[in-house]
Amino acid sequence: MAERSFKAEVEDLRLGAGETFTGEGILALTKALLENGVGYVGGYQGAPISHLMDVLADAEDLLGELGVRFEANANEAAAAAMLAASVHYPIRGAVTFKGSVGVNVASDALANLASSGVTGGALIIVGEDYGEGSSIMQERSHPFAMKSQFWLLDPRPSLPTIVKAVGDGFALSEASNTPVMLMVRIRSCHVTGSFQTRDNVRPSLTVRDALSNPRSDFARVVLPPMSFAHEQDKVKNRWPAAERFILENSLNERFGPADAPVGIVVQGGMFNAVIRALQRMGLADIYGDSQIPIYVLNVTYPLVSSEFLEFCQGKEQVLVVEEGQPEFIETQLGSFLYRAGSSVKLHGKGVLPMAGEYTGQVMLDGITAFLKQAAPAMLAAVVRAPNEDKPQIPDLSKTVPIRPPGFCTGCPERPIFAAMKLVEKELGKHQIAADIGCHLFASLPPFEIGGATMGYGLGPAANAAFDGGGERRPVAIIGDGGFWHNGLSSSFTNMAFNKSDGVAIIVDNYYSAATGGQDVMSSRADNASKATKNPISKALNGIGINWVRQIDRTYDVKKMRDTIREALTTDAPGPHVIVASSECMLNKQRREKPLRAAAIKEGRRVEAPRFGVDEDVCTGDHACIRLSGCPSLSLKRLDDPLRDDPVASIDQSCVGCGNCGEVADAAVLCPSFYRADVVHNPGKWEAKWAAFSARAIGWLQARRAAKRLEFGA
Amino acid sequence: MTLHQSFVPATPDPSMAGIIKLACLAVGGQGGGVLTGWIETVARANGYVCQATSVAGVAQRTGATVYYVEMAPASARPPIFSLAPAAGDVDIMISAELMEAGRSIMRGFVTPDRTVLITSTHRALAVSEKMEPGDGIANGAEVLAAADIAARRVITADFDALAIAKGSVISASLFGALAGSGALPFAREAFEAAIRSGGKGIEGSLRAFAAGYEAAQGATVAPEKPAVKAPIAPKGPAKLMAEWARLSARAAALPDSAAEMALLGLKKVVDFQDLAYGADYLTRVEAVLAKDTPAKGHALTREAAKYIANAMCYDDVIRVADLKTRAHRFDRIRAEMGVKDKHVLQLTEFMHPRAEEIAGMLPAKLGAKVEASPAWMARLDRWFNKGRRLRTDGLRAYLMLYVLGGLKSRRRGTLRHKQERAHMDRWLAVADSYLAQNYDLAVEILKCRRLVKGYSDTHARGLSKFDKVLAGIALIAQRDDAADWARRLREAALKDEEGKALDGALATIRSFA
């Protein structure tokens, strides 16, 4: 079960012709797929398109009714490979994953798909994880389209234009026998708005029907000599067909006056940002009517020379707004101008920065700089010669702490890394490689465990150079998501085959947790349409890894610590693998909270645990926090002039996971922590016995109080 | 070259003012998504077109996240909205935590010409603030001062506490504050309708909404802490009370600046041991006073009153057992955990005694012998050194701690007491040795006692840092700026666990000492 449920929202996917849909971008995308007769959908989760996978999973009933097959693919490569169904069959297919990392993983399949060419429309919806909020290296998906010759759509970021792009994408794909990648940026995925819906359309040929009438054609197979023919076909037929389709259907748009000395060329996805800058300069109105001509590239690959040159007609200087690096579009447009012998001066990187997100300020500064050079008369006097008397706002950069993401309250991964830190205190620092997933937060303070990440499922593989062993064993950490994504083959068979001496810790939290709690092969959940409950340890045994330690409660810090120590010091031959299993607390709470509330209401006995700190026992050295970092374990300044340092304090959000007590014990920290279990609806005898104990304790307390001075709380 | 003489810019469209831009900075998990959802609902229900965006991703795992909403009166054509807030272009900035308000100011989202800043004053501490061995908490006053300069209007309250008091979460009280601020052109009822149209927890949300609304309207000002503190008034047998009266009068007779501290210190040591111990404490403080200089405002006595009390109340097994078994502790926990009569409270303590603690409880001579014998220490470790979970709501474990707590009468004879006393004497002697030549340095030496804290390894590390700092000070004690260096060394020692900052500072000292 995913972290966020779209069960209510997917009802909107049934809206028919002429109705209005209001909601999020990802739902609009799904609706558009259904309106365009998609035959199969799939993908792999990852921000910013995780929720698109969740929407599809929650819409499985509706998809079934329409004869659409939904596949939660094992990884992005598997998702892209699924588009093979559109090679021979006239079936529209769509897959989704994040860019650029998902595209990296998928690139083998995408290259083969692009070479073979498609009959049915093939759409790859990529959530481009670039700029603020991104969790990956800052790269572009753009060049994948260039190298494999498939087409890239980057529509204007509003619901109607995104929905239109889905239809355009399928049609373009079919018109040019080429897969099409539809790029949506981080904020576009969750942008809200409205659009007019159409009826959902059943696929004219379902994947089921296709199985009844199998097709094959060796001309489509990527083998010589056909592969050479594919390349020629790409440039001689498919590319020109795509350009024709783009022109005939006006996929790219023009705004503003026809006649002006300057113009702006912009990726569709950056259009609103350009308009906002122009609005702020008084050069566009609220509806986007611009005083500067704008050429919007809703298709950013291929670029159509004739259309661009026509836009440049009569202009002296043109600005290209292209986010990310290197500047593929600008370079291509410059080449168009040069070949046409044009004297139009092209601006781009230079007035705008080469790297980084084009935020509102960057865009305002860039366009201002362009107009200062190209059309200073257009700038209002204040912009030309700013003479503002702005108040000096104090510099807070030394005051405000950074707040990177971290483990949630009660996260089962915290005790694993607390144990790891304790082992490193004993045995010294180790070579540690990490993977992709929540566990990567351990590389940040307070744990600072792990020095590199090479990609999803590649944690142990990233230690391969050290497989031969040495004085201290290398340690690799990988999540269950990474294990099933790619880790089993790329990391663990690599370890087993090369007889690695190393240690791998698999963090098994029952879900692909970092991406929003989707089920994986080893999830413990019942899932009607997916095979779950396949233990990771069984898979390890299957590939000949026999030194496997299964831990079923990661919160047992001492056991965790002793097991890691054993793996690092045992004489047994490697690989040494620890499977550390406990359920993701975010998902566990979501599942159990309502059940617990219901049980209390029904009068059943429920223990609600929470931790606390005795503030007069705590000395304020914060050693516990350096082994935790839990959001609910914080500090409190005491109203006591005798005390200099704030003491530890646990707030109401504590879920009673036990890490505090375990760590205080395992690391021999201090006796400040206590766990309070509030028993709701206690049994009759339990309540009586508790009352008796409390009376006896009360008598003892009164006895001692009578003999000394009591200062109260 | 073509000339475009006619191409002149038009005057800016006044309708541009029609877009309201609202940003919200929150910490992942604070319900920023719910808040933006309500804002969208209220806008759309009142004739506005509205767009909201957020950044999905790992930032939602406890990191800083930003939500952004734009709205404009509906018309025949859809307006073009931006997907991200821009510096200098935000009308309403809501921040769900004080440092996030600071971050919004740093990012330029709060400007004096237009921004209404609504911020909660509560803190969700960042890991970097919490993990320092000393006090690493960021200065909230700086953010509030900057907010006053940066924003057109500032609305502050502890919206977190307001919401919790109403059994709800901060998104609801902030929504109330937004309504109460009048920054959006909608009536209070329209906001409440948006909450009602949502799913669950409607009643709680409405209560928190009302609290936030009133706070924004200035109806309720968060109650300031009472300026006058209640006097220390113990309860107990008349004989003890009479002795207390005499001792507290002695403390009160100290110079003004030291008297307050000495009274608190007296309370602490009497609570730790007994009245005789309190008298001992006052004697020590008075001895310091005898050497103090009134011209310096009795800073030496004041710091002595503070740190001698702390040094005398060391954290031994007896103290922990005593504190854990007191009645008001049980009352406090029951209140904090919301335990009602119908509930049963189970209480588990996490203890991990080591041989050192056991030896420390033995009579001084025997304890010293045991501690010097590795065989005996190993034996004690074998017997005692393991994690113990004690259920102090049960009689067995409670009695055990009760008995341990009752060993106070033997405390003066224990090894630990002897060790602590020796350490204190040494420390006070060092301070005294600098007093004649450098008053300020002597005060700084007293303050170094702050470094000794924690239990077991942490305590040992504290002691070693204390020794290192004192040794470092000895190197530069002859310099005019010795007190300043002493302060720097102490602060460095509190920066990190391993003492990296301290080692760096010591290296600097050695370079010129």
Q: What is the pLDDT of residues A69-78, one digit of tens each?
A: 999 999 999 9
Co-location of A264 and A185 in the same domain? no
Mean pLDDT for all residues in chain B: 92
The domains located in chain B, with CATH, are: 18-216 (3.40.920.10), 240-312 (no CATH), 317-415 (no CATH), 416-512 (no CATH)
Torsion-angle region of residue A94: left (phi > 0), alpha (psi -120 to 50) or beta? beta
Residue A533 lies in a domain: yes
State residue B512's pLDDT score: 85
DSSP string, B254-308: S-HHHHHHHHHHHHHHHHHS-HHHHHHHHHHHHHHHHH--GGGTTHHHHHHHHHH
What would the pLDDT profile of B407-433 be if each residue is shown by its tens digit?
Answer: 999 999 999 999 999 999 999 999 999
Nearest-angstrom CA–CA distance, B49 and A612: 47
What residue type is assigned to position A79 of the chain?
A
What percent of chain A clears pLDDT 70, i.e. is strictly above it?
99
State yes or no: pLDDT of A454 exceeds 60.
yes
Chain B from 47 to 76: CB within 8 A of any A CB: 50-66, 68, 72
Q: What is the pLDDT of residue A585?
A: 94
pLDDT at residue B219, as a whole number: 61
Phi, psi of B56 (to 5 degrees): -85, 145
Question: Do A477 and A555 share a domain, yes or no?
Answer: yes
Q: What is the pLDDT of residue B45?
A: 95
Q: CB neighbours of B450 closer than 8 A, spacing ≥ 6? A: A644, A645, B134, B307, B490, B494
- Cβ separation of A379 and B9 shorter than 8 Å? yes
Tokens in use for A102? 């998902």
In a domain, A211, yes or no: no
Amino acid identity at A426: E
Asked whether the predicted pLDDT for residue B101 surpasses 90, the reply is yes
Alpha-carbon dihedral sign for residues A392, A397, A399, A400? positive
At B18, is the pLDDT very low, low, confident or very high (cuts 50, 70, 90)?
A: confident
Q: Please report the DSSP string for A147-194 in residue order.
A: HHT-EEE---SSHHHHHHHHHHHHHHHHHHT--EEEEEEHHHHT-EEE
Q: Give Rg (Cα) of chain B.
A: 30
Smallest Cβ distance to B72: which of A286, A377, A700?
A286
Has residue A275 been placed in a domain? yes
- Minimal C-alpha gap between B439 and chain A (Å): 21
For residue B168, the distance in angstroms to the closest alpha carbon of chain A comes to: 12
Percent of chain B with pLDDT over 90: 85
Contacts of A639 in chain B (CB under 8 A): 225
**Nearest neighbour of B143 by CB, restricted to A259, A396, A690:** A396
Q: Do A405 and B60 touch (CB under 8 A)?
A: yes
Question: What CA–CA distance (Å, rounded) separates A43 from A522?
Answer: 19
CA torsion angle B358 B360 B362 B366 (round to 10)? 110
User: In chain A, positions 377-406, which contact chain B (CB-CB < 8 Å)?
Assistant: 377-380, 390-394, 396-397, 399-406
Scan residues 180-219 of B and list those with Cβ closer than 8 Å to A: none
A711 in any annotated domain: no
A286·B13 Cβ contact <8 A:
yes
Residue A54's pLDDT band, with cuts at 50, 70 and 90, is very high
CA atoms of B105 and B83, how far apart (whole Å) = 19
* Distance of alpha carbon A297 from alpha carbon A15, whole angstroms: 30
Nearest chain A alpha carbon to B102: A400
Each residue's pLDDT tens digit, B52-87: 998 766 666 778 889 999 999 999 999 999 999 999
Whether residue A163 contacts residue A195, with contact meaning beta carbons closer than 8 Å, is answered with: yes
Give the nearest partner residue to B453 out of A282, A286, A620, using CB atoms: A620
Q: What part of A 16-75 touches B (C-beta under 8 Å)?
A: 22, 47-48, 50-51
Q: Does residue A504 sit in the same domain as residue A553? A: yes
| pLDDT tens, residue by residue, A286-323 | 999 999 999 999 999 999 999 999 999 999 999 999 99
In this predicted model, what pLDDT tens digit does every residue of A654-702 receive, in sequence order? 999 999 999 999 999 999 999 999 999 999 999 999 999 999 999 999 9
Distance from CA of A613 to the nearest CA of B (A): 10
Judge whether A221 is closer than 8 Å to chain B, CB to CB.
no
Model confidence at A147, pLDDT cuts 50, 70, 90, reads: very high
Q: Look at residue A709 and tell me if it is in a domain.
A: no
pLDDT of residue B226 exceeding 90, the answer is no
Residues 156-195 in A contacting B (C-alpha not used; CB under 8 Å): 157-158, 185-193
pLDDT for position B4: 37
Residues of A in contact with B342 (CB under 8 A): 680-681
Taking CB atoms and an 8 Å cut-off, how many pairs form between chains A and B? 421
> Bridge partners of A548?
A577
For residues A262 and A242, state if they share a domain.
no
What average pLDDT does this structure show over A258-263? 94
Instruction: With beta carbons under 8 A apart, name residues in chain A contacting B306.
Output: 641-642
Cβ–Cβ gap A361/B87 under 8 Å: yes
Whether residues A487 and A347 fall in one domain: no
Identify the pLDDT of residue A350. 96
Which of A291, A321, A711 best probes binding to B when mutated, by most B CB atoms within 10 angstroms? Answer: A711
Quote the pLDDT of residue A387: 60
Q: List the CATH number of the domain containing A574.
A: 3.40.50.970
Chain B nearest-CA distance from A574, in A, is: 31
- Number of alpha helices (DSSP H) and beta strands (DSSP E) in chain A: 25, 23
Q: Inter-chain contact B127–A444, Cβ cutoff 8 Å?
A: yes
3-state helix, strand, coil in chain A (%, to 5): 40, 20, 40
Q: How is residue B11 written in tokens?
A: 């005057």
pLDDT > 60? residue B16: no
Number of domains present in the structure of chain A: 4
Give the distance from residue B328's alpha carbon to the nearest chain A alpha carbon, in angstroms.
Answer: 6
Question: Rounded CA gap, A307 and A303, in Å?
Answer: 9
**What's residue B17's pLDDT?**
62
* Residue A21 reports pLDDT greater than 60: yes
pLDDT of residue A563: 98
Report the half-sphere exposure of B211 (CA within 13 A, side-chain side). Answer: 26
The predicted-structure confidence for B459-474, as pLDDT tens digits, reads as follows 999 999 999 999 999 9
Cα B344 to chain centroid, rounded: 31
Tokens representing residue A110 in the block: 């995408």
Task: Search chain A and give the residue with CA nearest B51.
Answer: A192
Indicate the average pLDDT of chain A. Answer: 95
Going by pLDDT thresholds of 50, 70 and 90, the confidence category of residue B128 is very high
- Is residue A346 situated within a structural domain? yes
In a domain, A500, yes or no: yes
| pLDDT at residue A346 greater than cutoff 90 | yes
Beta strands in A360-499 (DSSP E): 432-433, 475-479
**pLDDT given at position B54:** 87
Type and span of the H or E element at B251: helix B238-252
∠ CA A246-A252-A254, rounded to 5°: 140
- Average pLDDT on B110-125 reads 96
**pLDDT tier at B5 (50, 70, 90 boundaries)?**
very low
Q: Alpha carbon A156 to chain centroid distance?
A: 22
CATH number for the domain spanning A269: value is 3.40.50.920
Residue in B131, B323, B454 nearest the CB of A619: B454
Binned at pLDDT 50, 70 and 90, residue A133 comes out as confident
Using a CB-CB cut-off of 8 Å, the residues of chain B touching A698 are 327
pLDDT for the residue numbered A542: 97
Which tokens is B281 given? 């404490």
ipTM of the prediction: 0.94
- Which one of A187, A380, A645 has the shortest CB-CB distance to B84? A187
* Tokens found for residue A668: 């021999």
Question: Do residues A615 and A549 share a domain?
Answer: no
Residue B15's pLDDT band, with cuts at 50, 70 and 90, is very low
Predicted pLDDT of residue B2: 36
Structure tokens at A207: 């994947």
Residue A263 sits in the same domain as residue A235: no
Percent of all residues in chain A with a pLDDT value above 90, rounded to a whole number: 93
User: Which pLDDT belongs to residue B3?
Assistant: 36
Exposed e or buried b per residue across A36-53, where buried means at least 16 C-beta atoms within 10 angstroms of its C-beta = bbbbbbbbbbbbbbbbbb
| Residue A388's pLDDT band (cuts 50, 70, 90) | low
Chain A touched by B310 (CB under 8 Å): yes
Does residue A244 share a domain with residue A306?
Answer: no
Give the CATH number, domain containing residue A651: 3.30.70.20
Concatenated DSSP letters of A400-413 = SPP----PPTT-TT
State mean pLDDT over B165-170.
Answer: 94
Q: What is the pLDDT of residues A270-289, one digit of tens each?
A: 999 999 999 999 999 999 99
Q: Are residue A138 and residue A85 in the same domain, yes or no?
A: yes
Residue B28: predicted pLDDT: 77
What average pLDDT does this structure show over B34-58?
91
Q: Is A362 helix (H, G, I), strand (E, B) or coil?
A: helix
CB contact under 8 A, A361 and B338: no
Q: In chain A, positions 105-144, which contact chain B (CB-CB < 8 Å)?
A: 129, 132-135
Same domain, A422 and A481: yes
Give the mean pLDDT of B187-192.
97
- Which residues in chain A touch residue B103, judged by CB atoms under 8 angstroms apart? 396, 400, 403
Q: Are B138 and A399 within 8 A, CB to CB? A: yes
Chain A residues whose beta carbon lies within 8 Å of the beta carbon of residue B135: 644-646
A406, A642, A670 member nearest B310 (Cβ): A642
Six-digit token pair at B340? 């009602």
Chain A: residue whose CA lies nearest to B14: A285
Q: Tokens representing A176?
A: 């040019």
Q: How much is the average pLDDT of A541-559?
A: 97
Both A111 and A45 in one domain: the answer is yes
Quote the domain boundaries for residue A424: 414-587
What is the structure's pLDDT at B231? 74
Of the listed ranges B48-62, B85-99, B391-405, B434-448, the one predicted with least confidence: B48-62
Report residue A262 as tokens: 């300057």
**A612-626 per-position pLDDT tens digit:** 999 999 999 999 999
The answer to whether the Cβ–Cβ distance between B345 and A707 falls below 8 Å is: no
- Do A694 and B453 count as a contact with CB atoms less than 8 A apart? no
Residue A226 to residue A224: CA distance in whole angstroms: 5
User: Across the strands, what pairs with A636?
Assistant: A647
Pick among B104, B106, B344, B396 to test the A interface (most A CBs inside 10 A)? B344
In the structure encoding, which two tokens stand for residue B492, read together?
């460095």
d(CA A390, CA B442): 48
Together in a domain, A187 and A298: no
Distance from CA of A186 to the nearest CA of B (A): 6
Which two three-digit tokens encode residue A283? 């050069």
Task: List all residues 6 or more positions away from A440 whose beta carbon is below 8 Å from its beta carbon.
Answer: A434, A450, A453
Q: Is the pLDDT of residue B257 over 80?
A: yes
User: Does residue B8 surpass a pLDDT of 80?
Assistant: no
